[in-house]
Copies of this chain bind each other. A is one copy, B any other.
Amino acid sequence: MAADVSAAELSAAQLTQRHRATLDQALQAIRTREYWSPHPENPKAYGDSGTGQGPAEGKAAFDALCGTEFGLDQPGTDGRVGDEVSPYGVELRISYPHPDPDVLIPAMRAAIPAWRDAGPETRALVCMEILARINARSHEFAHAVMHTTGQAFTMAFQAGGPHAQDRGLEAVAYAYEEQTRVPAGAHWVKPQGKRDPVRLRTTFTAVPRGVALLIGCNTFPTWNGFPGLFASLATGNPVLVKPHPRAVLPLALTVRTAREVLAEAGFDPNLVCLAAERPGEGLAKSLAVRPEIRIIDYTGSTAFGDWLEANARQALVYTEKAGVNTVIIDSTDDYRGMLANLSFTLSLYSGQMCTTTQNLLIPRDGITTDAGHKSYDEVVADLAAALQGLLGDDQRACALLGALVNPQVRERLEAAPSLGEVALSSRAVAHPEFPDAVVRTPVLISLDGAKPDAEAAYLSECFGPVSFAVAVDSTADAIALLRRTIRDKGVMTVGAYTTSAEVERAVEEVCLEESANLSLNLTGGVYVNQTAAFADFHGTGGNPAANASLCDGAFVAGRFRTVEVRRPE
């Protein structure tokens, strides 16, 4: 059943030579969780001075894709779809094959046995070759991510490129380690006193669950998509990739690259297929409940995530939904650093990250700082000023904010002033290169946490560049509200600023009890909304914002089962 890898263009020896050492480093990294990445995050590291496409080559490759029929030689194609429009105002005019699942899914299932028989190491090395080729095309991916998500170029390059590749490799490392915790075989020898021992030979095979469905999101198609894709593929499952209809291209490029590598390595390329959808088709919903779909990875709204968890009962469902991320401001010994750090977090990608802080809980009597006592109003005003300073220059603002990803975000932004007192208004920013880009600075709304009508605002997720400064009675009150927020609404991130060891312990205890990741006193170049693969966990999987964490053993352990065969020896 095994693919004849020796006859393939890409031999097992080549794969080992190229990637085994890096796999070992990745395995070490997930053990130490220290900083590590094999993918340079500096765009200048690619091209002439390094490996892969350079900037011009990447741009040209992206431009060449626009206005074409995106080729994917996969079976079961039923017409073409696609109408992506860049948040920067450009129509991509790319069409993709539309799938006939009744043809495509059986073809994917037929690919399973040879991929299963290849074993964990070969699967890991093939996945790493896919990632390496994606890495070499990081500039092309950057433009694809930029023009589907609205991220500014540098962020699209880093988060959509090397950082996403890191998360994919992290999943490959976890998948490999999990499958190899059990040996391939064992000799079972049970002593029988004075009689001869009983002897059996046992074999253990990691078998996939079935076809995996990846449901991509609009804002981070690769960063949020790669972990599930590579975790499923590395554990032997074919993966059907259903991108968000507004962010197809980055995942279509991913699928094409994966198919090329699989074929070269002697495997069936149908192990990775694309399922682009017609407008309003609801393809994710109909695919998700098919009996062949045994794993689903999803990033997106709480409503659809909850629907998947309730209805796709035949599948393991890994979801990242919405949360109400919170920062407690109790006190600080670096007031300026805190304001700078927070204003960057609130601005980056116009707050369109699942990790962006929404609520800033501030005692109404103010806080102690290295710059003296600051009243609630002063803290809010100073944060507004820091935001204004950070985003005062249009070009710099555009590089930080990117564009609004879709009209719904703009509508929420425009409706926000009605929710409370406007501490900082949003302003439209002219983009130097793309005049039709919708670029807006964040709005900061001040709310009195004690007022019941305010609670309806700050305890709902308001995805986009809208944050709430919430006046609370005390730090203890803030901590109680934090607990309620995590428990009832979920969070991806929690931050706290305090110089009090007691407050620090109390916040930490709430995060441990309610299962939330905490960043304390960040005032420098690390932000509460950013996590690094191999080192940081993205979410905990233990509160309503997500049932999975990127990446841990739980993220991979259920994607395969171990089948034991025993026979007398």
Contact = CB atoms under 8 A, between A and B. Distances in A.
Interface of A: 1, 30-35, 112-113, 116, 178, 181-183, 186-192, 198, 200, 202, 204-205, 207, 209, 309-310, 313, 508-509, 511-513, 515-526, 532, 535-537, 540-542, 549, 552-554, 557-558, 561-568
B209 A566 contact: no
Contacts of A512: 113, 116, 205, 207, 563
9 contacts: A30-B181, A182-B552, A188-B536, A202-B535, A207-B512, A518-B564, A524-B568, A540-B562, A540-B564
Contacts of A525: 192, 198
A553 B564 contact: no
Given A32-B183, A35-B189, A542-B209, A553 B557 contact: yes
Output the residue of A511, A532, A566 with the most chain B CB within 10 A. A566
Contacts of A562: 537, 540, 549, 552
Contacts of A566: 518-520, 526, 536
A237 to B, nearest CB: 12
Given A198-B524, A557-B553, A518 B565 contact: yes
Given A1-B509, A181-B31, A542-B207, A202 B536 contact: yes
A449 to B, nearest CB: 25
Main secondary structure of the interface of A (DSSP, over half): mixed
A518 B31 contact: no
Copies of the protein in its oligomer: 2
Given A517-B563, A537-B564, A552-B557, 18 more contacts: A34-B189, A116-B512, A188-B536, A192-B525, A198-B524, A202-B535, A204-B537, A517-B565, A519-B566, A519-B567, A520-B567, A520-B568, A521-B567, A536-B564, A536-B566, A537-B562, A540-B563, A554-B557
A159 B563 CA distance: 23
Contact of A521 (B511, B523, B568): B568
Nearest to A522: B568
Contacts of A523: 568
Given A313-B309, A520-B566, A33 B204 contact: yes
Nearest to A189: B35
A441 to B, nearest CB: 26
B190 A35 contact: yes
Contacts of A310: 313
B509 A113 contact: yes
A33 B200 contact: no
A563 B511 contact: yes
B557 A517 contact: no
A204 B188 CA distance: 37
Contacts of A32: 183, 186
A557 B512 CA distance: 17
B515 A563 contact: yes
Contact of A565 (B188, B189, B191, B511): B511
Contacts of A526: 198, 200, 566, 568
A558 to B, nearest CB: 5
Nearest to A42: B193
A436 B535 CA distance: 64
A541 B294 CA distance: 13
Contacts of A116: 512
A554 B565 contact: no
Contacts of A564: 517-518, 536-537, 540
Contact of A187 (B34, B188, B205, B509): B34
Contacts of A509: 1, 113
Contacts of A198: 524-526
A33 B519 contact: no
Nearest to A197: B35
A518 B191 CA distance: 23
Contacts of A31: 181, 183
A207 B515 contact: yes
Nearest to A559: B554
A186 to B, nearest CB: 5
A542 B112 CA distance: 15
B183 A33 contact: yes
A547 to B, nearest CB: 9
